Structure 1
Amino acid sequence: MATGAAKKKPAAKKAGAKASKKAGNKAVRHVALLRGVNVNGITIRSADLQALFVELGFGAVRTVLASGNVLFDTDETDIATLRQRIEQALRERFGYEAWIVLLAQATVARMAAGYPFERVDEERHPYIVFGSDPAMLDEVMAKAEELETYTDRLQHGDGVLYWELPRGESTDTPVAKLLAKTRYKSSTTTRNLRTVEKLIAG
């Protein structure tokens, strides 16, 4: 259980991050989407998650729901380095193999606006599949097109996959089983459209 892991001090900001402040970069609202939190024995309290991001030096930190969603402000501009720093801090603090997708909040809003299926459907769930590696999203899409499925609808968007499936079958459909494969664990994570809308508003 992650809650039993000893707390460690997160890595300090690198010199480049401090330099960006001196250059007068404006802080940008970001969204960190953690994969696999509060499922399969990985338990992280929202208060502890928020505290870690505050310790990492981010501003206006806020967690949304219990599925591993963090909103925060930063003036750091190297997204790849920032993502790696957060992942390392999560591993050290909570003792699990942490992977995140990190995006500017404005980018998430644009992605949500492009959702192509019915946004409200009493019989189907609307999801967005986010990814840190575009090649992996392309691969998922290609493999999904080979599946014999009459329940899933999957469409490629700009940096995301849009997914719709029957309610109550979020882990049972062919696409759900495809996304659950270990190969995609480090680079993809899925959120319900309702959750994404909360992240945009935060």
Structure 2
Amino acid sequence: MTRYVALLGSINVGGNRLTMADLRWAFEREGLEGLETVIASGNLLFDYDDRPLEGLEDLFAHVMRDRFDIDSFVAVRDRAAIAEAVESNPFSGEGAGDRVHTMFLERQPDPAAFEKLAADHAGRGPETLAIGNRALYIDFVDGVAGSRLTSAFIERRLGCRGTARNVRSIARILAKMS
């Protein structure tokens, strides 16, 4: 069995309140094993055998809609991908741990789409951006709350969905996956 994390977007933000016990219960009913939540924001660790992962993100999203009426983007990553998100983030160690984020994307965006995002954001705020492997790295210099660099703004320009976690949360997830 391999250890994975499902990073569920839109959990415990914007009115989509959900207990982590209810989240675990819903996925236990789907037959997933070794379920454990990390931080109360939709990070679900689980064990999964070596079957193909294709469709697993869609299954998670379906369960969220069906059981909780929450439309959620879900990114499933293994330990190596989470470690890469930590190691490859060029802003880690530079900015505050709650302001430096990795947005896990559904697919690798086209380089031209990233250039459009960077160009359209220029002058809108102090945030800095870098592209990674199915990831967008962001330093929200002045914090996320007042930023004009929103998920919707990013997703429209990249042409793909994502869910973000700050580097502190990612480090906690990685530690639990070890």
Match of 1:107 among 74, 78, 81: 81
Structure 1: runs of 5+ lacking an equivalent: 1-26
Distance, in Å, in 1 between the alignment partners of 2:46 and 2:146 is: 34
Report what 2:135 is aligned to. 160
The AA in structure 2 aligned to 1:113 is E
Structure 1 pair 127–87 and aligned structure 2 pair: CA distance change class (3 A)? same
With 94-103 and 28-37 compared, the bigger mean Cα shift is at 94-103
How high is the TM-score relative to the length of structure 2?
0.84
Q: Is the contact made by 1:100 and 1:187 (CA closer than 8 Å) also made in structure 2?
A: no
Q: Is the contact made by 1:35 and 1:185 (CA closer than 8 Å) also made in structure 2?
A: no
| 1:37 aligns to 2:18 (yes or no) | no
- Percentage identity across paired residues of the two chains: 25
With 127-136 and 142-151 compared, the bigger mean Cα shift is at 142-151
Q: Is the contact made by 2:100 and 2:138 (CA closer than 8 Å) also made in structure 1?
A: yes
Structure 2: runs of 5+ lacking an equivalent: none
Report what 2:40 is aligned to. 66
Report what 1:20 is aligned to. none
Per-residue deviation, residues 68-90 of structure 1 (Å, max 9, x unmatched):
11010001533231111121111
Structure (1 or 2) with the larger CA radius of gyration? 1
How high is the TM-score relative to the length of structure 1?
0.75
Q: Is the contact made by 2:102 and 2:135 (CA closer than 8 Å) also made in structure 1?
A: yes
Distance, in Å, in 1 between the alignment partners of 2:110 and 2:164 is: 14
Match of 1:197 among 168, 171, 174: 171
Distance, in Å, in 2 between the alignment partners of 1:100 and 1:58 is: 16
Report what 2:117 is aligned to. 143
Partner of 1:112, secondary structure, is helix
Structure 1 pair 155–122 and aligned structure 2 pair: CA distance change class (3 A)? closer
Write the mapping of 1:1-150 to structure 2, written as runs, cut at 5 A.
27-119=1-93, 121-122=95-96, 125-135=99-109, 139-140=113-114, 142-149=116-123
Distance, in Å, in 2 between the alignment partners of 1:39 and 1:97 is: 12
Structure 1 pair 195–138 and aligned structure 2 pair: CA distance change class (3 A)? farther
Q: Is the contact made by 2:8 and 2:73 (CA closer than 8 Å) also made in structure 1?
A: yes
Alignment RMSD: 2.5
